[in-house]
Amino acid sequence: MNVKQQNRQGSGGEEGLSALLTNAQAIMVIAQAVEGTLGPKGLDTMLLDQFGDVIITNDGVTILEMMDVNHPAARMLINLAKAQQEEIGDGTTTATILAGALVNEGVNQIRKGVPVVKVIEGMSLGIKKAIQALEEKAIPLISSNQSLLFKTAKVAARGNEDIADLVIKATSFLGQEKLGEPSFKLAENIRAVVGSQNQVISGVIIDKEPVNPEMPKKLKIVKVLVIDDALEPEEIEDGALRTEAGFTRYLKLQEEFRQNIEKVVRLGVGLVLVDRGIHDVAEEIFTDAGVLVLQRVSNCELRQAAEFTGAKLLKRTGLKKEEKDLKQSLGEAAEVYVEEKLKHVRLLGGKGEAQATVLVSASTEEVVEERERIAKDAASAVQAAVKGGVVPGGGTVELAIARELQATRQKAVGMAVYGVDCVCEALKKPFTQIVNNAGFNPLEKLGEVIAAQIEQDKNSLGINCDSGEIIDIQELGIYDPVLVKKQALQTAMEVATAILRIETIIKKKEMGSSNSLQQEGI
């Protein structure tokens, strides 16, 4: 018995083509789970949990996050798709479909005898060329180009014009410079609330209610203190409390805390935002002084409020500063008020950086999360468009790039050309899937569109998903952000490389087990 045979039997593992096919099948199952949602005619997916709760959505990342998946290769794809969502905020479905297509094409070439390393080498070259081509075809955008931004937002919002309009209004409040900041994510400024009206607020919403109902509901010209910590006295170990010195130290910290809270009141602070909980002593003093306090504010909202009001994030120890120094850490807002019906607090007229919060209406609890997901996708797409420009959507630009790659495949060395071919075929997948979801023959429409693009020398020609006719996608107002497509290609390449390079799958021994692979018969 040879080593490989022994390892396979002794470890419960797989190797070679068997391992590759197992992993590839897992990737294809994940890709198939979301491919039916792509395009304007994409359908929804129903997600059920063990308690019978139902979520109906066609949002790719939501489907991926909530799928019950155990296979390690499938989890790898899901994790990378989620990374795409965190980085760009959109394009997870496209990334997943491209990854599935790349892996499938790669497996086909390997089964024909092409070495894995050559397939990966060609894929890497093809993806690099595809990204370069995307950048060359990009149509630059500025935030003042409301028409093109609206079209981009509408596509990402799955045709919901009211949501697209809200997102565009938010960009006009913020400006291009703010949208271009690496740390700023417009999607974080989206809220969907049952019973609200569609509106854009030039300010910040804190999704909390006052700590004490007796605290004020409306304030004007408000000094703001932001505590990125618990608003409580410094802690002391339980063991130390049993000693006289320790108890004395405890009493001193309690008194010091009270004095710090009173110092905040003397400074005229009207709003206090706290990351964690607030001590009873602080609540009592602030309530008596007419200070509005919100506790357990999310990190995102805390940061937004600090930037908007010009406040500095402080730890509880920061309250020990002298009054003149502590004053420098305060922010200011022209108005703060409690929206009792919607159970949140609004900050308006901050003296810091511009902020805009998009409030999306939702009729019922069943649709509120989906409305918020759609709006976040639209916001992410618009911000990506401002940063990196747009290209015609509907899978058309990918077809044009696939043709360009096919014409230059000879630049690959030796058998690496087959890896380039994998990229060419994968690039056709978004178009064929969109056409298939619209109810047309994908192979027929693929041939028609490629021929039309060549004949008319126009890369934006695609399919009208309502009529099936060839049309200039730009005339339909269908655009996709370049950054979303670039990230999707990179994500797909990472998945394909990782999967195709796996030669052997070996089951790890259980913790505490002393068993090892037998070496007899080598």
* Cβ-contact 316, 234 below 8 angstroms: yes
3 state SS of 260: helix
Q: Comparing 439 with 78, which gets the higher pLDDT?
A: 439
In the predicted model, what is the mean pLDDT of residues 90-107? 91
- For 346-401, how does the pLDDT look when each residue is reduced to its tens digit (9 = 90+)? 999 999 999 999 999 988 877 888 899 899 999 999 999 999 999 999 999 999 99
Contacts of 161 (CB under 8 A, 6+ apart): 154
Full DSSP string of 96-163? HHHHHHHHHHHHHHHHTT--HHHHHHHHHHHHHHHHHHHHHH-B---TT-HHHHHHHHHHHTTT-HHH
Q: Is the dihedral of CA 332, 337, 339, 345 positive or negative?
A: positive
pTM over cut 0.95:
no
Name the token pair of 22. 């197992």
The predicted model gives 407-423 an average pLDDT of 87
Beta carbons of 294 and 210 less than 8 angstroms apart: yes
| Type of residue numbered 24 | A
H or E element at residue 405: helix 396-407
pLDDT of amino acid 106: 94
Pull the structure tokens for residue 223.
């000094």
Task: List b or e across 367-392, with b for residues whose CB sees 16 or more CB atoms inside 10 angstroms.
Answer: ebebbbbbbbbbbbbbbbbbbbbbbb
Are the C-beta atoms of residues 268 and 329 closer than 8 Å to each other? no
**Do 167 and 382 form a contact (C-beta atoms < 8 A)?**
yes
The whole-number pLDDT of residue 502 equals 82
482 vs 48, 134, 137, 152, 283, CA distance in Å? Answer: 34, 7, 9, 11, 50
Q: Determine whether domain 12-139+391-505 maps to CATH 1.10.560.10.
A: yes
> Which residue spans of the chain are classified as CATH 3.30.260.10?
141-188+366-388
Query: Which pLDDT score, from 0 to 100, does residue 85 have?
Result: 77
pLDDT single digits (tens) 479-511: 999 999 999 999 999 999 999 988 766 666 666
pLDDT of residue 512: 55
pLDDT at 91: 81
How far is Cα 436 from Cα 126, in angstroms, rounded to an integer? 25
Instruction: Give the model's pLDDT for residue 251.
Output: 86
Evaluate if residue 143 carries a pLDDT over 70. Answer: no
Q: What is the pLDDT of residues 303-328, one digit of tens each?
A: 999 999 999 999 989 999 999 999 99
Q: Which CATH class is domain 141-188+366-388?
A: alpha beta
Do β-strands 292-294 and 269-274 pair in parallel, antiparallel, or remain unpaired? parallel
Distance CA 228, CA 201 (A): 24
86: Cβ contacts below 8 Å, ≥ 6 apart: none
Residue 516 has pLDDT above 50, yes or no: no
pLDDT above 60: residue 183: yes
CA–CA gap between residue 491 and residue 82 (Å, rounded): 10
Q: Which CATH architecture has domain 203-355?
A: 3-Layer(bba) Sandwich (3.50)
Q: Where does the chain hold its CATH 1.10.560.10 domain(s)?
A: 12-139+391-505
Could you give the CA distance from residue 516 to residue 494 in angstroms, rounded to a whole number? 32
Q: With a cut of 50, say whether residue 517 has pLDDT above it.
A: no
**283 and 211 in contact (C-beta within 8 Å)?**
yes
Provide the mean pLDDT of the chain. Answer: 87
Q: What residues does CATH 3.50.7.10 cover in the chain?
A: 203-355
pLDDT top residue among 243 and 341: 341
Residues in contact with 377: Cβ distance below 8 Å, sequence separation at least 6, in sequence order:
59, 89, 90, 156, 157, 158, 187
Q: How far apart are CA 91 and CA 88, in angstroms?
A: 8
Residue 4 CA to residue 14 CA, distance in Å, equals: 9
**pLDDT tens, position by position, 187-229:** 999 999 888 889 999 999 999 999 999 999 999 999 999 999 9
pLDDT at 6: 34
Coil, strand or helix at 179: helix
Q: Which CA distances in Å does 417 have to 98, 100, 131, 414, 424?
A: 19, 20, 18, 6, 11
* pLDDT on residue 363: 81
Q: Residue 7: is its pLDDT beyond 70?
A: no
